[in-house]
Amino acid sequence: MGRKQSFGHGHTVKKRFGQNFLHDPHVIDSIVAAVNPQKSDNLVEIGPGQGALTGALLPYLDQLQAIELDRDLIPYLLASFATTGKLHIHQADALRFDFGTLIHPDKKLRVVGNLPYNISTPLLFHLLDYASGIQDMHFMLQKEVVDRMAAGANEEAYGRLGIMIQYHCNVEALFDVPPEAFNPPPKVTSAIVRLTPRSAHVTPALDVKLLGTLVTEAFTQRRKTVRNALKNRLSPEDLEACGIDLKLRPENLTLNDYVSLANYLFQQAPRQTDTVDPP
């Protein structure tokens, strides 16, 4: 086992939780400015850690929900912010947490978090299940992940993650955060991203799960032409019927191209019909 590291109030950093605690006041102020919290916001912070961002957000809010997996951090957080009476902590794994319990009919949820690199992608997809009840999300992520989320067609970072996130949300990469802004410093640069769930889609997917499956299959063989990468699902005639050039590669197709292909597949699938036994 590697040597354990302790910071701040003596908490031992736990590698299994992917803990890197933010401490740079300039970065913290920049995140708060990007979030622009308002008194009545229904805001939840994922992974408050040692409370650096928590403490900066609380003065602007009537209340703040927080989800923390590491039970050893909770007494410290409660003691640090007890006098405010505003912090409500849920000791839980964000990957399994029901965010629907925090959404109010008249007040959508705002989500903020410094997401551990090892769970960032599955957590993003978990949160997308609640997109209709979320106003916006601001996350600190590995810069490489943010680049993939924001990439468009014909860009090297473009792939399944960006396509599926962009189907559900507008993606804005805001600014980078250097490793020295954390204790302990990670080995990579981080970045802040804003995700705003879409109220409507230019081309709605008839089956979002099928869209995800199709995109995954395409980018599993991203160096092949679309004709070859998707040959198990779509014939050359199918692709041409959707207006797709057979010589293109998966990275050349736009989000709307993939939605059109998925909708074409959905509409071609045989329908189950109720059968009635003859008299």
C-alpha–C-alpha distance, residues 188 and 180, integer Å: 10
In 3-state terms, the chain is what percent helix, strand and coil (to 5)? 40, 20, 40
Do the domains 208-268 and 6-197 match in fold? no
Token pair 């978990």 is found at 126
| 122-173 confidence digits (pLDDT tens) | 999 999 999 999 999 999 999 999 999 999 999 999 999 999 999 999 999 9
Calculate mean pLDDT across residues 22-28. Answer: 93
- How is domain 208-268 classified at the CATH fold level? Helicase, Ruva Protein; domain 3 (1.10.8)
Higher pLDDT, 69 or 272: 69
pLDDT band of 207, cuts 50, 70, 90: very high
- How is domain 6-197 classified at the CATH fold level? Rossmann fold (3.40.50)
Which two tokens mark 38? 């308002």
Under a CB-based contact definition with an 8 Å cutoff, are residues 24 and 5 in contact?
no
Model confidence at 15: pLDDT above 50: no
Instruction: Please name the residues in contact with 144: beta carbons below 8 A apart, sequence gap of 6 or more.
Output: 157, 188
C-alpha–C-alpha distance, residues 242 and 236, integer Å: 10
Strands 182-183 and 21-22 turn out to be antiparallel
| 48-93 confidence digits (pLDDT tens) | 988 999 999 999 999 999 999 989 899 999 999 989 999 999 999 9
- What does the domain layout of the chain look like in residue ranges? 6-197, 208-268
